[in-house]
A and B are shown apart, each in its own frame.
Chain A
Amino acid sequence: MTTPDNLSRRLFLQRAAVGTLLATGGSTLLSACASGGSDDGNTGGGGAEQTTENPFGVKAADPLDVVIFKGGYGDDYAKAHEELYKKKFPETTIKHAGITDITPQLQPRFNGGNPPDVIDNSGASLLPMSTLASSGQLADLTALFDAPSIDDPNKKVRDTVEPITLEAAMLEGKPLVLDYVLTVYALWYNKPLFAKNGWEPAKTWTEFLALCEEIKKAGIAPLAHQGKHPYYIGQVLMDMAVKHGGHEVIKAIDSLEPNAWKHESIKAAAEAILELKGKGYMMQGTEGLDHIQSQTAWNQGKAAFIPSGSWLENEQKPVAPKDFETTATFTPLLDGSKLPVDCTEISAGENFIVPEKAKNKAGGLEYLRIMLSKEAAGKFTELTGSPTVVKGAAEGLKLSPGASSANALLESGGENNWTTYFATWYSTMDKPIRSVYGELAAARITADEFCARAQKLADDTAKDPATKKQTRS
């Protein structure tokens, strides 16, 4: 998984540690095979004539080996994609594997020089992307992004995807990964519950407070959050702050600029969180609940809103009552906000990669190109309820309430939507910042203290010579 909250879900640090250890072990092993594996006569497939229809020159009979991380999105969508591939190359045979533990099962194959042709490298035990990239294990996707789109051969693939895809694809200065799934972060509520009580999600802060008061009077907690993982409430805070001060706010934070966290917008949003806690609008005990406990309470109607990403509906499927309609909405606008209310933070996830040493590298690239067609992307959204990075692919689909509301928020936000990187870039800063979010949400510190503590962490990271600095576009 590539969403920043992923780390917060790792209740067992060991597993994170295993990932790193394997990264360590992997790096030597992987580079060893990168240097020694070139004499096996592996051509990476292809070799057929390169045409608009077949830009990578896939040989129709070459078999394709696909490994999919079988997590929250299942692997049915991949089977649908494979059918599309098979339709195009009927002579091929496709080997499909849907697995959960990517690293344990694939590391030996990388080491043995026979990696699959396409991998969805995700989940808790994904192969470390940076190691794969730096050891030359990943195929350059420039050719893919420059290839003609399946839907419109006059357009390049890069023009048919959300711009965030190209930004997220870059590793070691080259596009090496296709982050396929678009995650929309939002506040979520149960539509029938709101309809029954005549409530409407609020647009302004004043309206939001009034709504909370009403909800509270009805005996429901206005807001629950996943207190054991304060990342989630931090998402609400940052969302309101960015809308208040514009994209510069988050860009300054990602760039570790001095005083970025002391921006008036951050402070205003922090005050807002404190107000929610102070007025008793947060569910009792929510500070001690993990994601499952809090989201289950929310499903049971004990709280009206909960922050999360667009995976929420799927995640809660086994728990949500039948008449529950998971619905995404925006965070309210603080007074004096620069951005409109109907935009939000988004991120691209699920790392699809084609190994450089794949037997059928051309087939792998073609498979990704097929995935980026509207038909394939629509299938994905239909089957998983999550939007993809393919523009307009969800048009005309019958979507679940969660997916369609998330999609609506994505579309209404458009250019105003943004992405955050600091949490994934700077792990030394991420965990302590989350801890500070938690203190704020429990009203154990003031807004000023929040800004000061967060800034201190950012300054420490900026000063740390051991931390490799990243820049965002």
Chain B
Amino acid sequence: MRHGSYRFVASFLAIPLALYAIFVISPFVQAFYYSLTDWTGISPDFKFVGFDNFRTLANDSVFRQALGHNLILLIGLPLATIFLALVFAYLLNVGGRANAAGVQGVRGNGFYKLAFFLPQVLSVPVIAVIWATVMTSTDSGLLNSVTKAIGLGTSEYLANPDIALYCVLWVLIWGSVGFYLVLFNAAMSGIPKDIFEAAIIDGATRLSTFFRITLPLLWDTIQTSWVYLAILALDAYALVAVMTAGPGGPDNSTTVMGLQIADNGFQYGRAGYASAMGVVLFFLTLIIAAVMLRATRRDRIEY
């Protein structure tokens, strides 16, 4: 390294690191500290209570419910989103007509990508308000009036505790598929043609090229996607807060950890306790990311 480069490095890092330390790192560190106190979030007085908050947390049945719901989302969201996105990406890539030039992407490829991606650019409150209206529980609700007309019957959606969480999950999936579709689509177009041609010369079908070539080559991308979707599933706060009864209802059937943090920290005046929940959430996120990255680690396929 050339002389003077340390000074340069320091000069480039100083401001961003300072911003990051002040506005991101320090609040997080403080939150760890507050998790060991009985701070109400309202009064400036609080005392150190050791691990009391974590002990209470271990017996908090609502928090355990919330954790369970996050785990359902954690499994459902990545599975469904990645599956649908892969299917759509595959259809976009090879679903088109076949001719002498080979298999083409479907016509309107651009339109589909444009449309599917749309939910990604809108803020969660907007999406939540729209979907809560679509899934209105009465028979004259938007979705109900359609399903009734085509003979599928009606549902109370968010008012039914047995399915309310899955309605939330659906909106999460709906909002995410477009992004991962475009991601996978891009990754697929990045795979050199000759690999496919070689496979086809070997007599592979379209479907088997997908499983034998596309999927393994996309593995890196899928893995990254999985981690992001997992982080999204561990949050889900804004959607639940806007869409569900209570929010978090009916009867806690849709509550998630983020909502428990918000309720305890800002409504019940238990900021210390809420911080303890946040700490749990933090470690959970960390563990899941580490596990996912490790479990799905494969040798990167070079081409």
Task: Indicate whether B76 reaches chain A with its CB closer than 8 angstroms.
Answer: no
Task: Indicate whether A287 reaches chain B with its CB closer than 8 angstroms.
Answer: yes
Q: State whether B42 touches A23 (Cβ < 8 A).
A: yes
Q: State whether A283 touches B245 (Cβ < 8 A).
A: no
Task: Indicate whether B236 reaches chain A with its CB closer than 8 angstroms.
Answer: no
Tell me which of A7-15, A55-63, A175-183, A268-276 binds B.
A7-15
Min distance, Cβ A33 to any Cβ of chain B, angstroms: 15
Q: State whether B251 touches A439 (Cβ < 8 A).
A: yes
In Å, the complex CA distance between A315 and B37 comes to 43
- B-contacting residues, A162-200, CB 8 Å: none
Task: Indicate whether A397 reaches chain B with its CB closer than 8 angstroms.
Answer: no
A300: nearest chain-B partner, CB-CB? B140
Residue among B138, B144, B265, B270 with the highest chain A CB neighbour number at 10 A = B138
A229: nearest chain-B partner, CB-CB? B245
Q: State whether B247 touches A288 (Cβ < 8 A).
A: no
Q: What residues on A are CB-neighbors of B266 within 8 Å?
A: 13, 16-17, 20-21
Knowing A13-B259, A13-B266, A288-B158, say if A466 contacts B38 (CB, 8 Å): yes
Contact of B156 among A13, A285, A432 (CB under 8 A): A285
In Å, the complex CA distance between A229 and B247 comes to 9
Task: Indicate whether B241 reaches chain A with its CB closer than 8 angstroms.
Answer: yes
Q: State whether A284 touches B139 (Cβ < 8 A).
A: yes
Contact of A435 among B125, B159, B252, B268 (CB under 8 A): B252
B128: nearest chain-A partner, CB-CB? A11
In Å, the complex CA distance between A439 and B262 comes to 23
In Å, the complex CA distance between A293 and B156 comes to 14
Q: State whether B136 touches A293 (Cβ < 8 A).
A: yes
Task: Indicate whether B246 reaches chain A with its CB closer than 8 angstroms.
Answer: yes
Min distance, Cβ B278 to any Cβ of chain A, angstroms: 14
Interface size on A, residues (CB 8 A): 41
Task: Indicate whether B250 reaches chain A with its CB closer than 8 angstroms.
Answer: yes
Contact of A428 among B44, B136, B158, B268 (CB under 8 A): B268
Min distance, Cβ A438 to any Cβ of chain B, angstroms: 5
Q: State whether A435 touches B242 (Cβ < 8 A).
A: no
Task: Indicate whether A228 reaches chain B with its CB closer than 8 angstroms.
Answer: yes
Q: State whether B159 touches A442 (Cβ < 8 A).
A: yes
Q: What residues on B are CB-neighbors of A95 within 8 Å?
A: none
Q: State whether A286 touches B267 (Cβ < 8 A).
A: no
In Å, the complex CA distance between A216 and B199 comes to 68
Task: Indicate whether A27 reaches chain B with its CB closer than 8 angstroms.
Answer: yes
Q: What residues on A are CB-neighbors of B139 within 8 Å?
A: 284-285
Task: Indicate whether B96 reaches chain A with its CB closer than 8 angstroms.
Answer: no
Task: Indicate whether B161 reaches chain A with its CB closer than 8 angstroms.
Answer: yes
Task: Indicate whether B123 reaches chain A with its CB closer than 8 angstroms.
Answer: no
Q: State whether A17 touches B251 (Cβ < 8 A).
A: no
Q: State whether A287 touches B42 (Cβ < 8 A).
A: no
Contact of A13 among B138, B160, B241, B252 (CB under 8 A): B241
Q: State whether B137 touches A285 (Cβ < 8 A).
A: yes
B-facing mask of A284-298, CB < 8 A → 1, else 0?
111111000100010
Q: State whether B241 touches A20 (Cβ < 8 A).
A: no
Q: State whether B42 touches A438 (Cβ < 8 A).
A: no
Q: What residues on A are CB-neighbors of B245 within 8 Å?
A: 227-230, 287-288, 438
In Å, the complex CA distance between A55 and B41 comes to 41
Q: State whether A435 touches B42 (Cβ < 8 A).
A: no
Task: Indicate whether B269 reaches chain A with its CB closer than 8 angstroms.
Answer: yes
Q: State whether B246 touches A431 (Cβ < 8 A).
A: yes
Min distance, Cβ B190 to any Cβ of chain A, angstroms: 40
Task: Indicate whether A24 reaches chain B with its CB closer than 8 angstroms.
Answer: yes
B44: nearest chain-A partner, CB-CB? A28
In Å, the complex CA distance between A91 and B285 comes to 66
A interface residues, Cβ below 8 angstroms from B: 7, 11-14, 16-17, 20-21, 23-24, 27-28, 128, 130-131, 227-230, 283-289, 293, 297, 427-428, 431-432, 434-436, 438-439, 442, 444, 466
B interface residues, Cβ below 8 angstroms from A: 38, 40-44, 62, 125, 136-139, 141, 144, 156-161, 241-242, 245-247, 249-252, 259, 262-263, 265-270
Q: A229-B245, A283-B138 are in contact. List 9 more A-B contacts (CB 8 A).
A: A14-B241, A20-B266, A27-B42, A27-B43, A128-B42, A130-B42, A285-B139, A287-B245, A442-B159
List 30 A-B residue pairs with CB atoms under 8 Å apart, sorted by A's residue number.
A7-B267, A11-B242, A12-B125, A12-B242, A13-B247, A13-B262, A14-B262, A16-B266, A20-B267, A28-B44, A228-B245, A230-B245, A285-B136, A285-B141, A285-B144, A285-B156, A286-B137, A288-B138, A288-B156, A289-B137, A293-B136, A297-B138, A431-B263, A434-B246, A435-B249, A435-B250, A435-B251, A439-B250, A439-B251, A466-B40
